[in-house]
Amino acid sequence: MNDDAVAPVVAAMLVLAIIVTAFSAWNAILLPSLKQQSEMVQDREVQQAFSRFSSDLVNAASLKRDLTFSQPLPLGGGGIILSPLTSSGTLQVVDEPLHFYSIRITEKTTEERIAEGRMIRFSYQPVGDFWLDQGYTWNYGFVNVTKGSSKTGTGAAMVTTPLAFTSMDDVYRKQSIQDFANSLIVVEAEPWYNSTGNCSRITITSMTFNREPGSSYVSSNGIGILELTAKSASPSVFGVEGISSPDSLKIRVNRSENKPFSLGLYERINESFSGIATTYRYNVAHSFQNAPFPEYYNETSLAPVPGSLPFTVTHRQIAINVSVV
C-alpha cells in the first residue's frame, strides 16, 4: 500500500478523534460548568428580588397608605450562547389558612367581628435546574431558602432555613421582625377637648395581606414579577360622638399562627390598650384576662367606665394584595 495514500486517512482520523474528544469534554465538563455559572447568577438575582420585595412589604405596612410596588425576577437560568436551553421556575402566592388576629366590637349587647388580619406566603421554586434545587419563600417578614421539594406543592420544601439568619431563634430576636409585627395594628386615642383625663376617640389602623385572586401562580423560563397593591377601606365608626360609646372593643390574636410573631403583636396591642386606660382612666377600662378560649388566642379589650363621658371607636383597614405575573 502506498504510504502517501494512508497518511491523509490517518491524519483525518486523528483530527476526527480530537474533535470528538473536544466535543465530549465540552458536553461533559465545560457546558455543565457554564450553565451552572449562569444559573448561579440567576439564583442571586432571585435572592435579591425576594429580599427587596420583603422590604417593600414591610414598608407598605409601615406607611399605611395606598401604593404599589413591584419586583421583576428571572424564573429560569442556565442559557449560554452555544446552548440556549434554560431551566424554568414557578412563582406562587398562597393564603395562610387561619387569620392571625380579629377585631370585635360589641354594641347593644351584640358582638360583631369587624375585621380580621391574614398573612400570605409567596415562593419561588426552580424547575429543571442545572445547579441546585434551591428556592425561596417569604412569610411573616423574612425570607427562607428552600432545598428540595415535597408533594404538597410549590412553596413546600424538604429543607428550609432562614436566608439572613443562622436559626429561627435569631429571626424572632431581630428587632426589624418585631417592628413589622407591631406595625400591623396601631392604636391611637384622643382626649375630650375640655377634659384630658377622658378619651373622646380611639382609632385603630390594621393591616391584612391577601392573595390576589386570578394572579397567584406563574410558571415560565422568562421574567416573573412580584407585585403588591395596598388599598385602604373607608373608615367605620362605632358609637355616637358625644352621646354613646360601644359596649366593648376586643382584639384577639391567634396563638397557633407563628407563636413568637403573634405573641409580640399581642403584647404590643395589650400595652397600647393599657396605656390608653391609664391616660384616660376616667372613662376607659382595660381587661386582658377574660378570654373564653385562652388555648386558641390571646385577648385584650377596652370598655367604657359606667356613667362616664362617651368615646367612639374608628377602624380603618388597609389590605395589601400580592400577585405574581
* Nearest alpha-carbon partner for 262 in 119, 86, 85, 105: 119
Q: Which amino acid belongs to residue 213?
A: P
- Number of domains into which the chain is organized: 1
From CA 11, how far away is CA 20, in angstroms rounded? 14
At 87 the pLDDT is 81
> Within the chain, which residues score under 70 in pLDDT?
1-7, 9-12, 14-15, 17-36, 78-84, 149-158, 290-291
Cα angle, residue 145 at apex, residues 144 and 150 outer, rounded to 5° = 100
**Where in the sequence is the domain holding 314, given as residue range(s)?**
3-324
At 153 the pLDDT is 46
From CA 69, how far away is CA 287, in angstroms rounded? 39
At 100 the pLDDT is 92
Grid-cell match 429560569, residue found: 76
* Nearest alpha-carbon partner for 117 in 103, 136, 133: 103
Beta-carbon count within 10 A of 25 CB: 11
At 165 the pLDDT is 82
Stated pTM of the model: 0.84
Tally of residues, the chain: 325
